[in-house]
Chains A and B, each alone.
Chain A
Amino acid sequence: MATNLPASANAQGGIGTAPVPHTEHDEHLHEHDEHHDQHWMWKYVFSQDHKMIARQFLITGMFWAIVGGTLSSLFRLQLGWPEATLDWLQPLLGKWIDGGKLSKEFYLALVTMHGTIMVFFVLTAGLSGTFSNFLIPLQVGARDMASGFMNMLSYWFFFLSSIIMFVSLFLETGPAAAGWTIYPPLSALPQAIPGSGMGMTLWLVSMVFFIVSQLLGGVNYVTTVINLRTRGLSMSKLPLTIWAFFLTAILGILSFPVLLSAALLLVFDRSFGTSFFLSDIYIAGQALHNQGGSPVLFQHLFWFLGHPEVYIVIMPAMGMVSEILATNARKPIFGYRAMIGSLIGISLLSFVVWAHHMFVTGMNPFLGSVFMFLTLIIAVPSGVKVFNWLATLWRGNIRFTAAMLFAIGFVSLFISGGLTGIILGNATLDIQMHNTYFVVAHFHLVMGSSAFFGLFAGVYHWFPKMFGRMMDEKLGYIHFWLTFIGVYLVFMPMHYVGIAGFPRRYYSWTGFDAFSQFADLNKFISAAAILAFFAQFIFIFNFFYSIFRGRRATQNPWNSTTLEWTTPIVPGHGNWPGEIPAVYRWPYDYSKPGSETDFIPQNVPYSQTASSNLPYEREIED
């Protein structure tokens, strides 16, 4: 059955594999397929098909996004209405409602877990896990990842890490509460806060598995991009999505091991009596034996991962947005090579700016100015990207699909959030703004909301390829406008709150007269945040409804040029029923002058498009 399966069977989601030239391979394949046919377990649960693994990452990521969003709604209730009684939350939170109030310890746990979940579980695993897995083999023309087995392990390590983190939410002493950056000594001493007990232990264990998952995934992505590109698909013809996923994976391979080192040393400090990060501590009337440790060392190690991590979050979104903007503006992406160059520039710079998170640790001002200088240089490649996105839209024949709206929204949020990055990158200004809501507003716009918009754009755009059906456009518009307006209503006022000096992670400000003037604004932010959160259920409904009831997709619904749209509507394991198409041109031949259609797929040779070929292309007609 391996070789003679008709294409239609593949379109129904059957397990199709390509004809292969060698019989010895054929036999292997046959065994492989039987395996898949017989056990649903291997098809839907322990699948090694990159498309199934991508869907697993996506749905797990969506689950985590709901959890993370719920947590933020809870603490926004506290911040917006500090005097209100929250007894009605007792059924959900139990003893964490203490005398009609949110318990203070639990508030810290809420912000910690919101950050951890959103940064790692949603925007790292959920975003790049989903789309790297889904798009890399499809867009480079490969039957699967370099190692399907490692890819499967990558998901299940993520799953294990998710379970452990989820369990920690229900501990007697609560989950980790030292902030998502888990700075010691707070995180290292169980007697410091309840959250530094078992909750912190589970946090660290969960993150170790998470890092393993990221490494297994990352080496796979890089290997697939380097080794499994189809004939003709040189690195300079790759879609920008693949460039972004490729560089993201490299960042992960180089930065996550450093977090592992930091986590390991913290585990030793917590459980084995070492003093890497602890020194001269007097707590609860007792002097600790720990001598000679340095908490600032932890910050260095953490931010050496932490800063590349924000690019791990944003670069896949950048890649997808570039692709979606070009497709829906019916124009080639402006400055293709500059886009690749700026991605590489951002990747390199991401490793040499980490100490801008630490301007107030008492570092040598000269060192601070070096990091400030390097940080501000990032504005250059970021500016190149923004310029190119806007120039791509300029005089385009824009089709406002839901994905396109989210892609444009991404550019808007990235600009708004990026501008305050220039302010915070300056050491002198940062010392004033450090740990205020200005910082919170900045990174929620530039990496939090932007990456979410990239994620939404990606889901709306590639949903037809993932599930063979279209998502509802009208619900998509409603979702977009509520989210877009909601995000700005939340984070714009937050800048003012931050400039006024409101520190982040405070349970309430009612004790300070100076802060009473902004109580209304905080109420406003909370209301907007909770409304924007509820708007996401429109998306959740649209997503699950469309999987089963959506309009059936055509093979290439967006008239796009990249290879994934040359597969059957629902590709089977192996992606192409026949031979893998070869690639002849770059992925952005939209509205090419002289062409009969307004797009020319990558697998169309120049010999078939004589009317639109440019002089140098005529020479290589093949």
Chain B
Amino acid sequence: MNTSELLVEKEEGLGLHPKRLVLILLIFSIIMMFAAFTSGYIVRRDEGNWREFDLPLSLLFNTIAIALSSAAMQWAYYSAKHNEVKRTQLGLLLTLGLGIVFLFGQVHSWSDLVAGRTFFGGADANPSGSFVYVLMGVHAFHLITGLIFVAVVLKRSLNYQVHSRAMLSIGNASIYWHFLGGLWLYLYLFLLLNH
């Protein structure tokens, strides 16, 4: 936003800060992308020639890791609201750590998938298995952008720029992070129900 522009002089919008609205719109575009993948998955499955596969158990542990990271994010958010700087930083650090654990966990699950003879490409692959890799991979890509976002907020917090009167960045980061966690939960349940 132009620095000379003050929101109080503007016609009331939706009551959202422009940066938050930008984030929400981007989230909608990510939702559309995964809606395309998962509806493509269902359309494709219903046409037949579809190989069943087993989901590795490790995905459950990854899911727990990302759920915990969401909890840590929420804790950081509440701490920031109450001006508890150290706890905010710890919460953000935990979020980052658990997010990275999730990422490595996903990579590990890929090797479990390969061990279970579910391949991404090649002569032995079927679109069913390829879809699992694509869903996990594209989600992981977005999770990396989320990690960068959380790291930026952590840096701001270390500079004492995140507190009860400056909640925009940590608020946005937590919305994005919860969205990514929720997205994974959706994908996990989707795959559990439709493999």
Spell out A's residues near B (CB within 8 Å).
17-18, 20-21, 25, 28-29, 32, 142-144, 146-148, 150, 215, 218-220, 222-224, 226-234, 253-258, 260-262, 264-265, 268, 272-276, 279, 289, 291-294, 297, 300-301, 304, 574, 580
Of the residues B37, B51, B121, contact of A261 by C-beta under 8 Å:
B37
Of the residues A17, A148, A291, A297, contact of B43 by C-beta under 8 Å:
A297
Say whether B57 faces chain A, with CB atoms less than 8 Å apart: no
Of the residues A293, A304, A580, contact of B36 by C-beta under 8 Å:
A304
Contact partners of A300 in chain B: CB under 8 A: 40, 43
Give Cα A293 to B43, complex, Å: 11
Contact partners of A268 in chain B: CB under 8 A: 120-121, 130, 134
Smallest CB gap from B29: residue in A = A257
Of the residues A17, A228, A253, contact of B10 by C-beta under 8 Å:
A228
Interface positions of B from 39 to 84, Cβ below 8 Å from A: 40, 43-44, 47, 49-51
Q: A289-B123, A300-B40 are in contact. Are A253 and B25 (CB under 8 A)?
A: yes
Contact partners of A17 in chain B: CB under 8 A: 4
Given A231-B10, A297-B47, output 18 extra A-B contacts at Cβ < 8 Å: A17-B4, A29-B3, A147-B18, A148-B2, A219-B29, A228-B18, A231-B9, A254-B32, A257-B36, A258-B32, A258-B33, A261-B40, A272-B120, A274-B120, A276-B130, A294-B44, A301-B36, A580-B9
B159 CB, nearest partner CB in chain A, Å: 18
Are B22 and A261 within 8 A (Cβ)? no
Give Cα A11 to B122, complex, Å: 64
Identify 16 residue pairs between A and B in the complex whose beta-carbon atoms are under 8 Å apart, listed by A's number: A18-B4, A20-B6, A144-B1, A220-B22, A226-B13, A231-B9, A232-B11, A234-B11, A261-B37, A273-B123, A275-B121, A276-B40, A276-B127, A292-B51, A294-B47, A301-B40
Are A223 and B18 within 8 A (Cβ)? yes
Say whether B152 faces chain A, with CB atoms less than 8 Å apart: no
Give Cα A176 to B53, complex, Å: 36
Q: A268-B130, A275-B126 are in contact. Are A258 and B25 (CB under 8 A)?
A: no
Are A223 and B22 within 8 A (Cβ)? yes
Contact partners of A232 in chain B: CB under 8 A: 11
Are B4 and A143 within 8 A (Cβ)? yes
Give Cα A224 to B5, complex, Å: 12
Spell out B's residues near A (CB within 8 Å).
1-7, 9-11, 13-14, 16-19, 21-22, 25-26, 28-30, 32-33, 35-37, 40, 43-44, 47, 49-51, 120-123, 125-128, 130-131, 134, 138
A390 CB, nearest partner CB in chain B, Å: 33
Contact partners of B26 in chain A: CB under 8 A: 215, 219
Contact partners of A294 in chain B: CB under 8 A: 43-44, 47, 127
Contact partners of B21 in chain A: CB under 8 A: 146, 219, 222-223, 226-227
Q: A256-B29, A257-B33, A304-B36 are in contact. Are A292 and B2 (CB under 8 A)?
A: no
Of the residues B3, B14, B22, B50, contact of A32 by C-beta under 8 Å:
B3
Are A292 and B3 within 8 A (Cβ)? no
Give Cα A264 to B50, complex, Å: 21
Please list the 4 inter-chain residue pairs (A to B) with the smallest Cβ-Cβ separation, ordered nearest first. A273-B121, A289-B123, A261-B36, A143-B2
Are A254 and B28 within 8 A (Cβ)? yes
B186 CB, nearest partner CB in chain A, Å: 16
A86 CB, nearest partner CB in chain B, Å: 42
Give Cα A21 to B9, complex, Å: 11
